[in-house]
Amino acid sequence: MCFLPFPFFKKEKKMKRSDFALALFGSVFALMLTGCPGGEAKPDGLPNLVTASIQLTQDGAPLAGATVSLIAAEGGQQWYPGGLSNDSGVVELYTNGRYKGAPEGKFKVIVHKTETDPSKLGPAPSEDDPAYGKWMEDSSKEVRNSYTLIEKKFGDAKDTPLEVEIKKGGETPKLDVGKKVKEKI
């Protein structure tokens, strides 16, 4: 739990209601911006995490929008680092999607990126619109195709050739996921 110190309260001087409201608002606003000192408690057993990132490319160009998961090379994994690549192909790693960084160790790297054909029907009308029923009927008949944009071997822990070692002070490894593909899932 967070407690806000109010160092401006003095016993010898009574604070005006407007000063108190302003001080309270300012303190709550500062708390919203910075969070509680010490942050959220980490779960038992969470190993020390090292701030780490990976840079992904495909055919030598940055790969944006790919999902990355790290699987411990030795198995017996309880904590799962991963993330999403940005426009530069860089993935900032978070463990269990919540804690910044990754445990030290050797990992296999799993990469996924998919695409789905957009609907030809456009967005759904509101439920009270008379056209909503027809839209629902037509959308149930429409088949949307999904594709993987990365060779399937990179999405399987047994087959992926990608590996990284996470260690304190380590560099950002650059990994390439091969040629561009568009294979139906």
DSSP secondary structure of 32-90: HHH--TT-SPPPTTPPPEE--EEEEEETTEE--S-EEEEEETTS-----EEEE--TTSE
Rounded mean pLDDT, 101-109: 95
Least confident of 32-36, 109-113, 138-142: 32-36
58-84 pLDDT, tens digit per residue, is 999 999 999 999 999 887 888 999 999
Q: pLDDT value at position 39?
A: 55
Predicted TM-score (pTM) of the model is 0.68
57: which 2 tokens?
């490319």
Q: What's the distance, CA 122 to chain centroid?
A: 28
The CA-atom distances, in angstroms, between 149 and each of 162, 180, 185 are 17, 7, 10
CB of 151 closer than 8 Å to CB of 177: yes
Pick from 1-5, 44-48, 107-111, 115-119: least confident: 1-5
More confident call, 128 vs 139: 128
- Measured CA to CA, the distance from residue 147 to residue 114 in angstroms comes to 5
| Largest Cα–Cα separation, the chain | 76
Amino acid identity at 111: V
